[in-house]
A and B are shown apart, each in its own frame.
Chain A
Amino acid sequence: MNALPVTTARAVLALALGLTATGCVETRDLGSTIPHGLLPVDERNPVILANDSATDNWQGEYAILLASGGGPKLAGIIVNTSGPWPDIDANINGWRGMVAAAHASGMRDIPDPITSIGPALVRPADGRFASTVPNGSEGARLILDMSARLSVPYRPLVVVTGGRLTDVADAYLIDPSVSGRIVVVSSMGTVTATGGAMGKPNGEMDPWADAIVTASLPFVQVSAFYDQLTDVPASRVSELPANPFGDWIAAKEPNVWSISQAADQVGVIAVGVAAFAVAVERVAATSTVGPGASAGPDLTAAANGPAWLVTQSMGGAATARFWQILSDPATYTR
């Protein structure tokens, strides 16, 4: 018997090609990620830090320690100004000193801070976000660049702010598609009877930016502050590691503000320590920001609201994690 007739082979080939051409791709869902806490992001998300001064709270120290102790990875540090901290040179020098101490102590994967110059955004006469003139600041550019490089659909970049939201809103004005790549977590405002207010601390610094961010970007407001003097009390200074980073903390300890609302670190802790945020509400921005406003929009509780409001926190969990990482020799080898 000879080979299959050529016509038969051609028919089979045509059938196979035909089936292939008409065949579709069947999709199978094989798993999903569950956030480790009550927020939509956790220690697995990379973060960018944005703040003004480096001296009044422990935000930078927490971010650096968490980055060296299991996450979140610190992808950038944006240093800007605010009413209480208008001197950009003083601000950036403070952050540079902190990062230099970290590097000198062996913490390698900590980025150098950059300055971001730009005033608070100005509400346009027509009240439309799109009519706002962007600053085009360095901080906004860094957010756009890092979000393009690091963000993936299941794990967006988190921008953690401890000051005004100007750079974040500026990034959105430059490229609105950034809304699909970042989540904004801000230590800001207060808890109210109906939800939250975007006033002091930090919310009053750029109300129009607050309005743009809450309306356009995934947003988490952390309004659950704690007594940050318990993080490094004077009685524990002697327990600090004998390295430049320990020396930095010891030198800073007397200057940390005693008011709890200054504890900008609550934002980065809410991302990096799952046990910290113990009560979270879904909220939506329900008011507009008019000309000359002194605060951002009100956040009203809504079951399916687009934003999250952290209303209660566990400061003890934060402090325990802080010292655990600080005391671990492995912290200073990565």
Chain B
Amino acid sequence: VFSCLGLTAPKAIEVIAGRARPFVCCVGVVWISLVGAAQAKPLTVNLAYTAGPGCPSATEFKAVVAGRLGYDPFADNAPDRVLVELVPRGGSMDGRLEWRDASGGWAGEQMFPMVTTDCARLARGVGFALAVQIQLLATVRAEPEPVAGPPPAAPSASSAPAPPRPAASVVPAAPAAPAAPSLVVTAPLPHRRGPGPQLALGFGPALGVGMSASPTLLGRLFGVLAWTRLSIELAAQTSLPTTMRRPDGSGFSQQHLLLGAAGCALFTVLTACLVANAGEVRMAGVDIDRPTSAVAPVIQAGARLGAVQRLGHRVVLGAHVDGLVAVTRWRGTLDGVPVWTAPRFAAVMAIDAAVRFP
């Protein structure tokens, strides 16, 4: 059931042409749903519909779904929310269908990339998928009944003037539409509820406090492997050189080069992590008669609190704060006199942008 709901399908399924073919992935469960539909209470959902120019209106889209279901499933006060987006992308279009539960939490999504700009066609495909999912959800929530129960009380033909209801015996037998533009229906991208890890690569600026005498600007590159509730991050970060000076104007510069790892627990939008950084700080005397340079090791450990926000299905924005304990510390001296000593505690505030890969 969930594979058809788009929650755990492991890979993309491409079905070429034909109105019914995009929905082959759901054939098995569609049959089950139809069988059990007689016992399912009509399910209502709260629809949030966003579409680009040239796309069907929300009313037209609702009509597609209602036509498939045989009843109007949309109600503003329904606990389940469905977000539908039909977005033009140059010479193609992206359709997206997202489910949210009664508490507003993300419950699943399905993507519909399309290689033409026929938005009406995309809307029909998304609408049909939504109808099937509503039907399935209604079945799941109904009282358990034997699968071999009475046949579904299918709506009469008069009550379903729109395209014919999908049926197990019909979908596979639907004739292929020759030479029609491809409609690619993709199962949901792997996500945190999927069985395997999801990869994301990203970058972002950070501000370090306690790493030098003044706040330090850092740049980060990182990769993340994420499972349902856990993720692992590996990062490389470097700071811009900062200079500490004593009253006579002489001083020394320092620059951090660090590799970091973080193990995170994932919640709805929040993350909590254990963090460790290791690397070196490069230092050099400046504006002094006889400057020298040196390198000192840096090891930090600490905790991270963060938040993530997805933009579309590939881009993720995040922000986090690291509280770090300096396992190793260093002190820079000039004329044998300490100029600056790395404090025991440091903090890093970062903003990240990442791209997810299937």
**Do the beta carbons of B344 and A20 come within 8 Å of each other?**
yes
A10 to chain B, nearest CB (A): 11
Contacts of A32 in B (CB 8 A): 288-290, 292, 334-336
Other-chain residue from B250, B263, B330 in contact with A26 (beta carbon distance below 8 A)? B330
**Do the beta carbons of A28 and B274 come within 8 Å of each other?**
no
Residue of A4, A25, A31 contacting most chain B CB atoms (<10 Å):
A31
Contacts of A24 in B (CB 8 A): 329
Within 8 A of A (CB), among B291-331: 291-297, 299, 301-303, 325-331
**Do the beta carbons of B331 and A26 come within 8 Å of each other?**
yes
Q: Is residue A19 within 8 Å, beta carbon to beta carbon, of the partner chain? A: yes
Complex CA gap A308/B93 in Å reads 86
Q: Is residue A148 within 8 Å, beta carbon to beta carbon, of the partner chain? A: no
Contacts of A33 in B (CB 8 A): 250, 288-290, 334-335
Contacts of B69 in A (CB 8 A): none
**Do the beta carbons of A2 and B341 come within 8 Å of each other?**
no
Contacts of B284 in A (CB 8 A): 30
Complex CA gap A9/B304 in Å reads 12
**Do the beta carbons of B247 and A152 come within 8 Å of each other?**
yes
Other-chain residue from A3, A4, A19, A28 in contact with B330 (beta carbon distance below 8 A)? A28
Q: Is residue B190 within 8 Å, beta carbon to beta carbon, of the partner chain? A: no
Q: Is residue A255 within 8 Å, beta carbon to beta carbon, of the partner chain? A: no
**Do the beta carbons of B292 and A30 come within 8 Å of each other?**
yes
Q: Is residue B230 within 8 Å, beta carbon to beta carbon, of the partner chain? A: yes
Complex CA gap A12/B248 in Å reads 43
Q: Is residue A155 within 8 Å, beta carbon to beta carbon, of the partner chain? A: yes
| Interface SS of A by simple majority | mixed
Which residue on B lies nearest to A153, using beta carbons? B337
Given contacts A20-B344, A23-B326, contact A28 B331 (CB under 8 A): yes
B119 to chain A, nearest CB (A): 40
Q: Is residue B5 within 8 Å, beta carbon to beta carbon, of the partner chain? A: no
A26 to chain B, nearest CB (A): 5
**Do the beta carbons of B294 and A29 come within 8 Å of each other?**
yes
B11 to chain A, nearest CB (A): 22
B204 to chain A, nearest CB (A): 24
Number of interface residues of A (CB under 8 A): 29
Other-chain residue from B246, B283, B325 in contact with A17 (beta carbon distance below 8 A)? B325
Other-chain residue from B248, B299, B329 in contact with A44 (beta carbon distance below 8 A)? B248
Which residue on B lies nearest to A150, using beta carbons? B247
Within 8 A of A (CB), among B271-296: 272, 274, 283-286, 288-296
Which residue on B lies nearest to A12, using beta carbons? B274
A72 to chain B, nearest CB (A): 12
Which residue on B lies nearest to A8, using beta carbons? B274
Which residue on A lies nearest to B293, using beta carbons? A30
**Do the beta carbons of B301 and A12 come within 8 Å of each other?**
yes
| Interface SS of B by simple majority | strand
Which residue on B lies nearest to A45, using beta carbons? B248
Contacts of A28 in B (CB 8 A): 283, 294-296, 330-333
The 0/1 profile, CB within 8 Å of A marked 1, for residues 230-266 of chain B is 1000000000000000111010100000000001010
Given contacts A4-B265, A9-B274, contact A31 B289 (CB under 8 A): yes
Q: Is residue B228 within 8 Å, beta carbon to beta carbon, of the partner chain? A: yes
Complex CA gap A3/B274 in Å reads 11
B21 to chain A, nearest CB (A): 36
Given contacts A4-B274, A26-B296, contact A16 B337 (CB under 8 A): no
Complex CA gap A155/B274 in Å reads 46
Complex CA gap A31/B230 in Å reads 47
Contacts of A20 in B (CB 8 A): 325-327, 344
Within 8 A of B (CB), among A152-189: 152-155
B50 to chain A, nearest CB (A): 33
Contacts of B297 in A (CB 8 A): 26
**Do the beta carbons of B229 and A3 come within 8 Å of each other?**
yes
Contacts of A31 in B (CB 8 A): 250, 252, 285-286, 288-292, 334-335
Complex CA gap A34/B333 in Å reads 15
**Do the beta carbons of B336 and A34 come within 8 Å of each other?**
no
Q: Is residue B227 within 8 Å, beta carbon to beta carbon, of the partner chain? A: yes
A35 to chain B, nearest CB (A): 9
Complex CA gap A16/B323 in Å reads 12
Complex CA gap A154/B335 in Å reads 6
Complex CA gap A275/B119 in Å reads 86
Q: Is residue A238 within 8 Å, beta carbon to beta carbon, of the partner chain? A: no
**Do the beta carbons of A29 and B333 come within 8 Å of each other?**
yes
Other-chain residue from A16, A27, A30, A152 in contact with B291 (beta carbon distance below 8 A)? A30
| Residues of chain A at the chain B interface (Cβ within 8 Å) | 1-4, 9, 12-13, 15-17, 19-20, 23-34, 44, 152-155
Interchain residue pairs with CB less than 8 A apart (23): A1-B228, A3-B229, A16-B325, A17-B325, A20-B344, A23-B328, A24-B329, A25-B331, A25-B341, A25-B342, A28-B294, A28-B330, A28-B333, A29-B336, A30-B283, A31-B252, A32-B292, A33-B250, A152-B246, A153-B335, A153-B337, A154-B335, A154-B336
Top 8 closest A-B pairs, CB basis? A31-B285, A3-B265, A28-B294, A16-B301, A154-B335, A30-B285, A31-B288, A34-B289
